[in-house]
Chains A and B, each alone.
Chain A
């Protein structure tokens, strides 16, 4: 138990604080007092203590209601005199082996912080700066300081930022002076710790235009500094660049940073630690260098130094330099043309000769270029007269005849056990992946360059050659045209089927099965002219795949994957007879057998088998539907058995299996529910199936809950109003799901299911609405719930309102102000990055769907006029969205629909208001002439509703 907990904590740590863990490992050697593992455990406990302490959610429930507003912490701490306290002993005790002593020390620190924060922080900074103090206490002081400035959880982070900003400026100046001084400490630990602390302070202050002298004072005499301080300074700059966004650092400072960094990388710098720190700092500073990369001379200089650095005798520096090249390839793709030839030479040499960690980065450079060109070409959409922001330079096409042989060579460097090792990543895998990307980038051109390699190697006695040839073939199946590939694939199909049965090497069979899957994925389907699978060869294919499912787990897994794509190819066949029909029963049976294999549990095989089964169900047709009906009770029985077993012993695998079975049932419900005759047959199982799902909620697995919830949503949709009979029992789990902040995916899915239930039950949902609405409002107010759940909650308001109509009246008082303040916040996105803009749009859509549902819900009710006071704001919101000009198509469609809903429900009383709004004129006009037919349709409807409203 103890060991497990520690393991889990280490896991958390890796996620949280990779740097800490690295340092932890480094300090293991110089530990004298405690035995190794105890010391490590203690350290972890301390870290965890701090995390827990810093996280208010674990202390007391937050009373903050409005999640949009950030609370200011009380500023009474400012008035207290900051004075350094003696903290050394407490910090040492906090790492003691003696549990009681440790606990006492932790308690002391906690009290100290609560009673006098300024003094606490000042004391810690003093401890860190003091070279007389023991390394242990200084390091913990730095760590606590860092955690007092930043946290992983967004809400906590904001609190800490506000707390720091509200401290007395004099005190902060003193702390910062101590920190900067520590950069020159003889202790490597102290320097390394303080560089991170400084970056955290900068991360808070620079965006608020504070600490303007930081960069200047860091760089004032960087050349004269002793090497260790230079290294620490460069590391600090690197962390700062990682911490802050480019727009808060002015160009003058950027120039200074880049100059210092590039000079530090230069081969004239003799100290390798300094060079490494400089290269890593450049990696983080690249995002700041937009202006410098637009200047030919500066760009030439940076590129020359980076390229030179890839030739450093130090492998860490070479690797870091290639990492910079990879970052440049995506950030400054359009500036690369003058350097691409040199870069090709450098990367080719690295791939051929250098250590694997460097070679992997060199290959990644080309994969990254492929990513860029694939994106650009996709944007062209095959129409080369169309505009793209960035032109395509066709680097891959130009380098093709050199690049492909280089990559093919890597394919022969496989590791013996790579197929069994989940975490494996080696040069053969990277090279193969890159080859696949190259094929997607250039299409047909790659085929003649790869075919000779395949022909030469596919039948060689050495498994490496056969595997490499097969992998090469599989890699190029996506990208080139079907016309080009079809003859080759038709020719290769028999060979592959034979290899899958007869090749003595598991590697070869693994890759062969994967390649068959790729053939089916990209060259099989009703849309293709000449099918590679015919009624003639279908039986052989199915037989081989079923046989292969009995092979070792990794091969069987790929065979299941191949079957997945074989089935998918018939997805659009409609009700037409599928060649798979005669084998349907055998396939399902074989997959079920795989799920029962003892060794399927350990690998990914069981999951792959259920995934294939799901796809087979999804792609079933009228002929095979009766067999799917028969499959339902089988899967239900399996679920029943796991629930019975759970009484005896519960473990992770049991929960995983429950998740898979719920997933499979969800697919079955959705399939059978989609047509009346099969739905009728399926409904006989509805009661039992629901009872099983409810039992799944007894387990503690988030994944199983999520899957059961999804399946219940599908069941509610299929059942319709009859779903009411399950509500008494189901309700508490619904509420539980809505309260699950921690596993926010569960919460999100539950919100979606509330929508399903609303549409199924309509007004019969009313008795449960008080509870649901209370919970949803709480969710919205919480600053702990992941933000991605909030837009669907707003949409859910709309679902509820539409279901219960004017009964929504009593929630208006709560829901409307929420919507209103969210609307105000989401009206403007200026300056936000892509992620934020996307989130804002999803928030807008949620808000608009809520308005839509509420207006439509009240339509025709005598209480319509209750909505009148909200109309001006809604119209204002629409107007400001229109003015902002950054709505995506979905938001546009929903927004123009809301205009119609408002007019439709409020009618003539809102007529004058509507006529005043910009939305009813320009916005509507724009939407009416939209190319997007969904927008146009909504707009026509809105026009009609408005005309009615104002024609009264």
Chain B
């Protein structure tokens, strides 16, 4: 119980400079740890693959001479979105061209349509990937080329001081650019604020899209920092009322068919049977394919890829073989493997046995337009074929939605006795 010292600091700062340094170091370390942690959290957990550029190029001969040898033996590179966002020019084009999810055409009605699927009216326009990152927003078309580079209200989509969160965190939206009202209609959300939604179910992606997009102000009318408006598309459960609403409901955009998304499916790059497109004259201007003059040709035309041994294949993975060209004809017509070739479907039509293509009556028309990037998919060919012969009608769809509901009730009854 000695006397107590009561000296207070006099003419001196309360903390020494050394203490200040120590505290600043601790702050810096804590900040760095947070950054490292955030970086780890927002790394997409599935790496999207960048395939070898050669397989991807439709005109390989042209490039082979230009590309130095060192690049040729490169093994397939696994890139995540963060790395991919750093790609420039041709590399970026190649990568982004592979990233969109493409629906199959609906050639028959999936089971449990009313339970497991969403439906919405697809806007007519240019399908594109919109990436916002580092203060700019870039939209890229299906072939990977840039459509617009602009400031937007998307996260880190414009250079502004007051942005929250790390500037390098990116967001990726799957959109359709609708020329008439200069609006990006968002049909899916792939990454948000650096967080990958690739392996989230569609149900969750749509939920997240709906709750997050509006928060940003991206749906507001254009302004100085926000060149184009973004807009949500009304998505319905594919029951009777949902299907009717999507089919007949009025939307601010021109419809181009209906899209069906399986609720449990992840965002899968390339063609997937878990997303389907269907159309008829009431909901699309382009039900039947047109030729270069905008006319519907008398006979259905298909574009197939010529592969090793003269096989004529669709763009599916694995490809569906429609027929075979003999070597003499190929030589005569200057065709070689990798060529995209156009055919008309003749009187013999397409013969299916147990859902498998048995025979196709193909008439050679010539090489496909150079702008074409790939062959038609099997489902597209079949959809166009059925449109000309026995189309799948809206009533069929509505019918299946009703009967599905009945069936599920029955199943329910049976299970009650457990």
Contacts and interface: CB of A to CB of B under 8 A. Distances in A.
A226 B164 CA distance: 75
Interface residues of A, number: 76
B32 A756 contact: yes
B165 A937 contact: yes
Contacts of B10: 424-425, 429, 432-433
A714 B45 contact: no
B4 A860 contact: no
A666 B29 CA distance: 14
Nearest to A941: B41
Contacts of A941: 41, 195
A18 B25 contact: no
Nearest to A758: B36
B201 to A, nearest CB: 4
A203 interface: no
Contacts of A280: 1
Interface in A919-952: 933, 937, 941, 944-945, 947-948, 951-952
A238 interface: yes
B279 to A, nearest CB: 30
B201 A897 contact: no
Interface stretch (A74-82, A775-783, A848-856): A848-856
Interface string A329-365: 0000000000000000000000000000100110010
B26 A752 contact: yes
Contacts of A615: 17
A126 interface: no
B208 interface: yes
Given A663-B21, A951-B203, A360 B36 contact: no
For chain B, which range describes its interface: under 10, 10 to 19, 20 to 34, or 35 or more residues? 35 or more
Contact of B32 (A238, A759, A860): A759
Contacts of A948: 197, 199-200, 204
A856 B41 contact: yes
A417 to B, nearest CB: 14
Given A367-B8, A795-B33, A849-B33, A283 B208 contact: no
B18 A425 contact: no
Contact of A514 (B11, B28, B207, B264): B11
B226 to A, nearest CB: 23
Given A364-B6, A948-B199, A713 B25 contact: yes
Nearest to A371: B8
A848 to B, nearest CB: 11
B353 interface: no
B2 interface: yes
B29 A713 contact: yes
A525 interface: no
Nearest to B198: A948
A723 to B, nearest CB: 13
B25 A663 contact: no
A844 interface: no
A670 B26 CA distance: 13
B298 interface: no
A425 B7 contact: yes
A127 interface: no
Contacts of A242: 1
B37 interface: yes
B22 A749 contact: yes
A798 B40 CA distance: 12
A944 B3 contact: no
A548 B305 CA distance: 87
Tell me whether chain A's interface is mostly helix, strand or loop, or mixed: helix
A225 B67 CA distance: 107
Contacts of A759: 32-33, 36
Nearest to B9: A433
A102 interface: no
A537 B29 CA distance: 39
B48 interface: no
B101 interface: no
A859 interface: yes
A424 B11 CA distance: 12
B4, B17, B207: residue with the most chain A Cβ atoms closer than 10 Å: B17
Nearest to A805: B40
B43 interface: yes
B21 A323 contact: no
B17 A859 contact: no
A799 B33 contact: yes
Nearest to A513: B11
Given A610-B17, A904-B45, A948-B199, A897 B3 contact: no
Interface in B23-71: 24-26, 28-29, 32-33, 36-37, 40-41, 43, 45-47
Contacts of B33: 755, 759, 795, 798-799, 849
Nearest to B4: A323
Interface string A832-873: 000000000000000001001100110110000000000000
B200 A951 contact: yes
Contacts of B47: 860
A72 interface: no
Contacts of B195: 941, 944
A21 to B, nearest CB: 10
A432 B207 CA distance: 64
Interface string B202-213: 011001100000
20 contacts: A280-B1, A320-B3, A323-B3, A361-B6, A425-B10, A430-B6, A430-B8, A511-B11, A514-B11, A610-B17, A707-B18, A707-B21, A713-B25, A752-B29, A860-B46, A904-B45, A933-B164, A937-B165, A948-B199, A948-B200
Interface of A: 18-19, 22, 235, 238-239, 242, 280-281, 283-284, 319-320, 323, 326, 357, 360-361, 364, 367, 424-425, 429-430, 432-433, 510-511, 514, 558, 561, 607, 610-611, 614-615, 659, 663, 666-667, 670, 703, 707, 710, 713-714, 717, 749, 752, 755-756, 759, 795, 798-799, 802, 849, 852-853, 856-857, 859-860, 897, 900-901, 904, 933, 937, 941, 944-945, 947-948, 951-952
Given A319-B3, A424-B10, A432-B10, 9 more contacts: A238-B1, A239-B1, A323-B3, A607-B17, A663-B21, A713-B29, A802-B36, A860-B45, A901-B41
